[in-house]
């Protein structure tokens, strides 16, 4: 016997029963994003590897050890998209969107690929919903982007979320802080893991990505960037907080929130859920004023977020939100003999063509077996056709909840089914 294969490690199948809750999340997100003026964009699943090494940053965990990079048959280095912002920024530049009225507001719903350790509850292919607003440096834009995500979570019924906020500074104030932090890391090298030693060398701010408890507590007392911001960054940070307050959003500041990407400037934020345990981030993002320029475009400010669909679905199920019921057929067709089977097959086709969800038997079940299936299917009506109905051009209609049966002409039965769909 041939050995059965499994889905690749760290991936999973989205089964039919998992679809309704996901669909609800995606539909709600598209509705919220639309209300805030975002339009959908889809970018390829793979990109030139340089987009991520330049955009996300050589010193990040993502670029150093989590990317699915391969050489295509033309000898080019390609990478499966590990995050959504750099590809959308690339599209913004490539399609000259900087010539449009700004800001340009875009959203996506796409799979992302990262070689993560599956035991952390993260997937190697996961789906993300995200928005990106290009062209505005206003702190109100940051506050609004955070508001979009807060609105989505609230309307989905997600509870127990904490909003954390930080500022990453800018190219004016961050370099001096980096020096300060590196000095601190060198002085306290014993308190940090070997990985952090490497991070300190490449980009000291990346030590905040470390999950090792010893490193985290050593960083608690490290110099804080928010205390070394330039006046412009400090003023921006205050106005973002005012914008959050105006939307009724409460938050706590968290100087360790650096969000794993080198492109962030000024605002970073994250919503964390106590329902998800240690790996508690549900979604977040920030401002990236240097990203567009870093990938070859004109200097363009930007701000956005990404939120994992799987994380939302998990948090929703932990809040006790139940999935909406699956779609059920309106009509289940039952054939009492061989000739009726042909009539039932044709009638099912007609019903579906008219917009009525209809199902029938394909397993040569007895009439009794077909009636059982009709009940199981959750259909509202069984349309039963036998010898008598064939002669009379009629259908015996059974209401499957009341058990009431009546004989209708074919056209009448069709109208009844249509009325059940339109609710008339």
Using CB under 5 A as the criterion, which residues of the chain lie in contact with Zn ion when the complex forms? 169-170, 172-173, 193, 196, 210, 212, 215, 230, 233
Q: Measuring CA to CA, how many Å separate 79 from each of 178, 272, 293, 351?
A: 29, 29, 21, 46
| Least distance between Zn ion and beta carbon 119 (Å) | 18
Return all residues near 43 (Cβ < 8 A) that are at least 6 apart: 81, 87, 88, 90, 91, 108, 110
Nearer to Zn ion, 172 or 227 (CB): 172
Shortest distance in whole angstroms from residue 170 CB to Zn ion: 3
Rounded distance, CA 318 to CA 161, Å? Answer: 12
**Residue closer to Zn ion, measured from CB, 81 or 224:** 224
Q: Smallest gap, in angstroms, from Cβ of residue 193 to Zn ion?
A: 4
The CA-based angle 130-131-134, given to 5 degrees, is 145
Tell me whether residue 22 or residue 182 sits nearer to Zn ion (CB atom): 182
Please give the structure tokens belonging to residue 112: 């992302």
Is the Cβ of residue 212 or residue 418 nearer to Zn ion in the bound state? Answer: 212
Beta strand 381-385 pairing with 331-335: parallel
CA distance 249 to 320: 24
Phi, psi of 8 (to 5 degrees): -55, 145
- Asked if residues 294 and 318 have their Cβ atoms less than 8 Å apart, the reply is no
Report in angstroms how near the CB of residue 154 gets to Zn ion at its nearest: 32
Burial of 308 per CB tally in 10 Å (0-12, 13-18, 19+)? buried
Q: Least distance to Zn ion from the beta carbon of 51, Å?
A: 26
| In the complex, least distance from residue 173 CB atom to Zn ion, rounded to whole angstroms | 3
Name, in order, each residue with C-beta under 8 angstroms of 396's C-beta and a sequence gap of 6 or more: 383, 384, 385, 386, 389, 405, 406, 407, 408
Alpha-helical segments (H) within 298-402: 309-318, 338-353, 367-377, 387-392
Q: Which helix (H) or strand (E) holds 396?
A: strand 394-399
For Zn ion, give the closer residue by CB, 185 or 397: 185
Please identify, using beta-carbon distances, which residue of 25 and 210 lies nearer to Zn ion: 210
Measured from the CB atom, the residue of 158 and 173 that comes closer to Zn ion is 173
Q: How far apart are CA 399 and CA 31, in angstroms?
A: 36
* Minimum separation from the CB atom of position 181 to Zn ion (A): 14
CB of residue 102 to Zn ion, shortest distance in Å: 22
Nearer to Zn ion, 214 or 324 (CB): 214
């Amino acid at each position: 016997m041939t050995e059965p294969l499994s889905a690749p490690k760290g991936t999973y199948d989205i089964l039919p029963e998992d679809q309704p809750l996901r669909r609800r999340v995606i539909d709600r997100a598209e509705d919220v994003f639309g209300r805030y003026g975002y339009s959908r964009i889809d970018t390829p699943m793979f990109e030139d590897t340089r987009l991520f090494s330049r955009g996300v940053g050589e010193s990040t965990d993502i670029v150093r050890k989590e990317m699915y990079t391969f050489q295509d048959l033309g000898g080019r280095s390609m990478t499966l998209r590990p995050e959504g912002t750099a590809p959308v920024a690339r599209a913004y530049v490539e399609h000259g969107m900087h010539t449009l009225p700004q800001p340009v507001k875009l959203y996506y719903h796409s799979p992302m690929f990262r070689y993560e350790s599956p035991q952390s509850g993260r997937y190697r292919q996961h789906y993300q919903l995200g928005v990106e607003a290009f062209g505005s440096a206003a702190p109100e834009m940051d506050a609004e982007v955070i508001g979009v995500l807060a609105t989505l979570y609230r309307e989905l019924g997600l509870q127990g979320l904490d909003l954390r906020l930080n500022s990453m500074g800018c190219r004016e104030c961050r370099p001096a802080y980096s020096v300060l932090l590196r000095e601190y890391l060198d002085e306290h090298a014993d308190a940090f893991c070997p990985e952090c030693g490497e991070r300190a060398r490449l980009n000291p701010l990346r030590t905040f990505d470390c999950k090792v408890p010893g490193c985290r507590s050593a960083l608690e007392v490290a110099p804080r960037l928010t205390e070394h911001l330039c006046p412009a960054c400090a003023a921006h940070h205050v106005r973002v907080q005012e914008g959050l307050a105006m939307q009724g959003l409460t938050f706590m500041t968290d100087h360790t929130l650096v969000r794993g990407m080198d492109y962030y400037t000024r605002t970073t934020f994250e919503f964390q859920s106590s329902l998800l345990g240690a790996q508690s981030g549900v979604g977040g993002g920030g401002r990236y004023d240097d990203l567009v320029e870093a990938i070859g475009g004109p200097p363009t400010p930007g701000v956005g977020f990404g939120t994992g669909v799987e994380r939302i679905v998990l948090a929703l199920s932990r809040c006790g939100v139940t999935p909406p019921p699956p779609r059920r057929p309106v009509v289940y067709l039952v054939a009492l003999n061989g000739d009726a089977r042909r009539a039932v097959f044709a009638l099912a086709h007609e019903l579906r063509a008219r917009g009525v969800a209809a199902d029938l038997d394909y397993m040569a079940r007895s009439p009794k077996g077909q009636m059982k299936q009709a009940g199981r299917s959750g259909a509202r009506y069984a349309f039963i056709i036998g010898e008598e109905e064939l002669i009379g051009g009629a259908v015996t209609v059974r209401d499957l909840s009341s058990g009431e049966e009546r004989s209708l002409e074919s056209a009448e039965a069709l109208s009844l089914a249509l009325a059940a769909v339109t609710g008339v």
